[in-house]
């Protein structure tokens, strides 16, 4: 059975680190044996002409173009962290909602992870800083140089989902049950 899992077609995962100014996206492939391969990463820069509504439009259009180009099968997105001002939290929530809308309109399943869960899965501690996440993501995917922070976070979210889904498959449970306490 392990050989069958290892030869199964890879699953493409889109990781999203939502933001109201920049949204990080990272795409990986994971095979049945849990091996991951980097496909793409970038920050979607949302700033430009127009107001906040135009930023959300750029986010929707950018994600739609990436989904059309790379055809992910599953999506993982970071949950909102409410440590900033109320206005920032509201804008972040709206950007996250727009990102989720972009993927569910294409019938893609979405899994959500808290920032501490992502840091724990990738670095080994939920209190890791951005530089540690960037370093570990680059090391895990064999990427040279320093990664842009938002894109590194998106790749970390995708890697977290890959780990959780592999554990879920081994346990024979859903990904929601495999990670939640």
Is 107 labelled a binding residue? Answer: no
Average pLDDT of every residue of the chain = 90
Q: Is residue 2's pLDDT more than 70?
A: no
Is 29 labelled a binding residue? Answer: no
| pLDDT, tens digit (0-9, with 9 covering 90-100), for 15-68 | 999 999 999 999 999 998 889 999 999 999 999 889 999 999 999 999 999 999
| pLDDT, tens digit (0-9, with 9 covering 90-100), for 108-162 | 999 999 999 999 999 998 889 999 999 999 999 999 989 999 999 999 999 999 9
User: What's the fold here for domain 2-179?
Assistant: Nucleotidyltransferase; domain 5 (3.30.420)
**Catalytic residue among 74, 78, 117, 153, which?**
78
Its pTM stands at 0.90
HEC-encoded secondary structure of the chain: CHHHHHHCCCEEEEEEECCCCEEEEEEEEECCCCCEEEEEEEEEECCCCCCHHHHHHHHHHHHHHHHHHHCCCEEEEECCCCCCCHHHHHHHHHHHHHHHHHHHCCCCCEEEECHHHHHHHHCCCCCCCHHHHHHHHHHHHCCCCCCCHHHHHHHHHHHHHHHHHHHHHHHCCCHHHHHCC
The domain spans of the chain are: 2-179
Is 61 labelled a binding residue? Answer: no
């Amino acid at each position: 059975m392990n050989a069958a899992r290892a030869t199964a077609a890879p699953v493409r995962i889109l990781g999203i680190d939502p933001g109201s100014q920049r949204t990080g996206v990272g795409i990986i492939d994971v095979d049945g044996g849990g091996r991951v391969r980097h496909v793409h990463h970038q920050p979607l820069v949302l700033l430009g002409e127009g107001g906040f509504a135009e930023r959300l439009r750029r986010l929707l259009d950018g994600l739609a173009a990436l989904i059309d180009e790379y055809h992910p099968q599953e999506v993982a997105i970071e949950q909102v962290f409410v440590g900033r001002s109320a206005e920032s939290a509201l804008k972040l929530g709206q950007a996250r909602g727009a990102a989720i809308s972009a993927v569910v309109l294409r019938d893609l399943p979405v899994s959500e992870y808290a920032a501490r869960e992502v840091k724990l899965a990738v670095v080994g501690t939920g209190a890791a800083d951005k530089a540690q996440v960037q370093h570990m993501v680059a090391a895990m995917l064999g990427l040279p140089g320093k990664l842009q922070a938002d894109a590194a976070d998106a790749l970390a979210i995708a890697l977290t989902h890959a780990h959780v889904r592999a554990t879920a498959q081994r346990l024979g449970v859903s990904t929601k049950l495999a990670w939640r306490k």
